[in-house]
Structure 1
Amino acid sequence: MTTLRPTRLAALALGATLLAGCGAAQAERAVPIPAAARDVAPAPGLQTAVLAGGCFWGVEAVFQQVRGVRDVTAGYAGGTAATANYRDVSSETTRHAEAVRIRYDPRVVSYATLLRVFFSVAHDPTQVNRQTPDVGTSYRSAIFAQTPEQRAVASAYIAQLGAAHVFPRPIATRVESGGFYPAEAEHQDFFRRNPSHPYIVRWDKPKVAAFRAGFPRLAS
């Protein structure tokens, strides 16, 4: 059984209460944002992106819906291998962020397009060290650039969106460096394996629905 940290336990309790009261998940929508002015040049073979946007269950679920994405792995980025496990990361002392590793075909979907989904619907990039009910540095918004070109494109897009004032608050997302370590098996493909889980129903199903409604041409 998954051992959940206190913030997520509280979210589960809230979700269960809300579901009991209304029988439906809260509606969400994709934030309309412009495409990035810069992009990573396509290269042969599959490419990798690592993004952190709060609980990895929902972020994984959104990117699993994107056409051209071949696989998504939930994990921990930004800390060391020695503490890359749910128990230690839950202490909020390891500097990891819950993140996803996305392997994608650049002939089908580009890096900048993945970033557009990330900022528009996968999470709220204006929240600092949290995502909705989950609080802590491990829930921060971060892009772990895998190449200098990714770093340049991500930094330029953050600046572009900030200048366009598409969000009501400043963007908190930081471009970071660090390794990625896959999470425990129980966290992989969590959305698909646990469709009735209260946290999934309350927070993540609306996110996936918002992606499919907001980006129908990208949906697989």
Structure 2
Amino acid sequence: MSDLDAQLTDAGLQPSGGGKVLLLACGALAHEILALRAANGWDHLDLQCLPAIYHNHPERITPAISAAVAAHKDSYQRIFVVYADCGTGGLLQAACAEMGVEMISGPHCYSFFMGNEAFAAADDMTAFYLTDFLARQFDAFVWRPLGLDRHPQLLDTYFGNYTSLIYLAQTDDAALTEKARQIAARMGLTFIHRRTGYGDLTSALAQA
């Protein structure tokens, strides 16, 4: 395995190399993409994921996507980037346009799971969002990286302006919903549960 493939591998996912379309995606979306591919018989879609932890380091996303496109562009008829802007400040979109590859629209996955139009119209400025992935991985991707396991007094510094936690659920999972509810309680936020399903991700992959 090359150094690039080792960097891009997440959760044991590797492209087969024989498909016509390669999805370059955030590792936080792997479960949802695989579920949609299986449910719709999209066997022509190959999936390769960047590490989900890049969301804590958005400056790494655009260079990694650019390297992946360069490495795989000759093996696929089309490459589709399953990242929204995700904190890159427009750099990812500019890079994709320059490379001639498409990407899913929206500022982040919360938006396209809810539906970009619905998210733009929502009045949730003081809400903290969870997806299925973040509900499962909250400690690893939020609590410990922010140092709250060691310095719980920082909670108000980070989240003092939030009033609610909105769990955007992709699936009906009672255990996961309870976990999200407990996270809201830990953060001192009002819990709101919204069953979004896969939102705009479904139509984006259908087009791919």
- Larger Cα-atom Rg: 2
- The answer to whether TM tops 0.5 is no
Q: Given the two structures, how large is their TM-score scaled by the length of structure 1?
A: 0.26
Q: Given the two structures, how large is their TM-score scaled by the length of structure 2?
A: 0.27
Higher helix share: 2
